[in-house]
Chain A
Amino acid sequence: MAKVKAGSWVEIYSVILEPGQRAPQVPEDTAKVPLELKVKGFLQSDAELGDEVEIETIIGRKYTGKLIDAEPSYDHSYGRPIPELLKVGRELKEILKGEGGNG
């Protein structure tokens, strides 16, 4: 596996609470899964994906956890236009041009 260099901006993962440790008030589906944490920071020493590593966050705090992403990215975007919304503007302009009501 490729080495991730110390100093790289990475993301780590850890389990905060195991399924048996979840708060009593959580619903059943949530109680069955762990409470997980992800945090990003600068890798403190060379490592491979899956290793337990230490990072320093952008404000200089240290966390340890499993190295899960050597190049964390922002993947949220827009995606394809929504057909159900495409005509809304045209329909409203038709209403504005039309007669009737208190217009």
Chain B
Amino acid sequence: MNAGDYNEVMARKNEIMKKAVGIDYDQFRVNNLVFDYEEMMAKAGYQLDEIIDIQKDTGVGQTPLLELKNITEVARKLSPAGKGARIFLKDEAANPSGSYKARRASVSVYHAEKQGYPGVVAATSGNYGAAVASQAIMRNLETIIVQEVFDSDDKGQPEILEKGRKCEAYGSEVLQLSVGPELFYVFLKVLEETGYFNASLYTPFGIAGVETLGFEIINQLREREELEPDAIICTNAGGGNLTGTARGVIKAGAKETKIIGASVDLSGLHMASDKDFNRKSFTTGHTGFGIPFATWPDRADVPLNAARALRYMDRYVTVNQGEVFYMTEALAAIEGMERGPAGNTSLAAAFAIAREMDEDQVIVVQETEYTGAGKHPIPQLNFAMENGVEVKRGNPDEEVPGQSIIIPEEPGLIKARDLDLGKIRSSYLKKAINSSGIENIGDKELEFLAAEANLDIASVKKMIAEIDEIKVDFK
């Protein structure tokens, strides 16, 4: 690998990706703005029943769904009469690689094997690397994981170091990079050199693999409790977790279940900044990915992103880092489940939202992840303190990302802070319409944009007309 050919490799991006994913995305495009999302999911991906079989083959899914009775009880103690929904938790840590990402990797790796690729590559600093590596072992393929790990002082996030170790435990070659989006260049070079499959997080394979998660939750609750959940809450970063889960809920026929996204608030920290890199205690599930991907999903490593969270989100909330650490501790201390931070972002939000809901309602936190050295509140908070972040008890409203982490003085201070979905939709519409160059909006464009923004046609039309930066005519 050498530095001289950055521009040349980036210029070959589309060609490299086409070979490495094996999908001709142009077939789904109607024009510069519109593409047929459902056709892409149906044609390029696999059907739900096939995916259930693929996942059975490698021990993925069918994870336990637990009722968090003590946490629910605490929420009720802090709520007025009649309030405090039952909180359930889908224990995705029970998947072979310790997180729901096994679902997301399973179909990609199956597809890579079926198509005869000799190996798989994934660009990820998260649990996805270990998931791909674990699935690849089961299907006798080689794995290369490209990670963003350390800053210019050679300091690495303990959480990412642990994820790298786990990939190596599963026999992966792990390329560890310093901070920067040019990781993508290294990734492209590896794909080109090896001819391996791009096990992207954002293909139809990846997203369809998560559909089983939503599908299982609905069926488990129907069978056990004879009910459907009022809400399912998903930790949201790139949008795939929420998109796949929501699609599975729809496929299970649950029409009234609301889908809520939750991200850790890291506002003010720049995701590509060398200096900010180690001032955050969460490497994913935060607003630094969640908001950009919700407002513009097509920023991923494939031409059309199958993870489109805005299509499915009924509500989007943030929680603070200190609140997530508090709930991680609570899950261990009063529920007897020591789990990693990812799902606990949703759990913190669910705890606050449950207090708004009636006591006969049900909210499901749809994932947990494994925990261990590095990805645990103790190393994460020690690391934060070593990097000059103040850790104290107090009111989490006063937390400043990168400067302080405030562990709530008492659980009643935990809040789910609503993001304005109207603003996110408006940003999406601006970006989608303006980058397409389209000047006339007709029925097919409106229908597409309405689905993308999760609005009805009249509302989307009104919203477009009200945005000054969009100059279009309606046909």
Contact = CB atoms under 8 A, between A and B. Distances in A.
A59 B379 contact: no
Interface string A8-36: 00000011111001110111011011111
A63 to B, nearest CB: 7
A59 B381 contact: no
Contacts of A26: 180-182, 272
Contact of A82 (B81, B162, B176, B382): B382
B82 to A, nearest CB: 6
B59 interface: no
Interface residues of B, number: 70
A17 B6 contact: yes
A58 interface: yes
Nearest to A68: B154
Contacts of A41: 173
> When A and B form their complex, which 7 residue pairs have the shortest distance between CB atoms, in order from nearest?
A89-B333, A79-B382, A33-B152, A76-B374, A103-B77, A101-B77, A57-B173
Interface of A: 14-18, 21-23, 25-27, 29-30, 32-41, 57-59, 61, 63, 74-82, 84-85, 88-89, 91-93, 95-96, 98, 100-103
Contacts of B381: 82, 84-85
A96 B76 CA distance: 10
Nearest to B1: A16
A76 B374 CA distance: 6
Contact of A84 (B80, B273, B373, B407): B407
Contact of B80 (A22, A74, A101): A101
A1 to B, nearest CB: 20
B63 interface: no
6 contacts: A17-B185, A80-B382, A85-B407, A88-B329, A98-B77, A102-B83
Interface in B35-88: 70, 73-74, 76-84
A15 to B, nearest CB: 7
B333 A74 contact: no
Contact of B273 (A15, A30, A82): A30
A44 B205 CA distance: 38
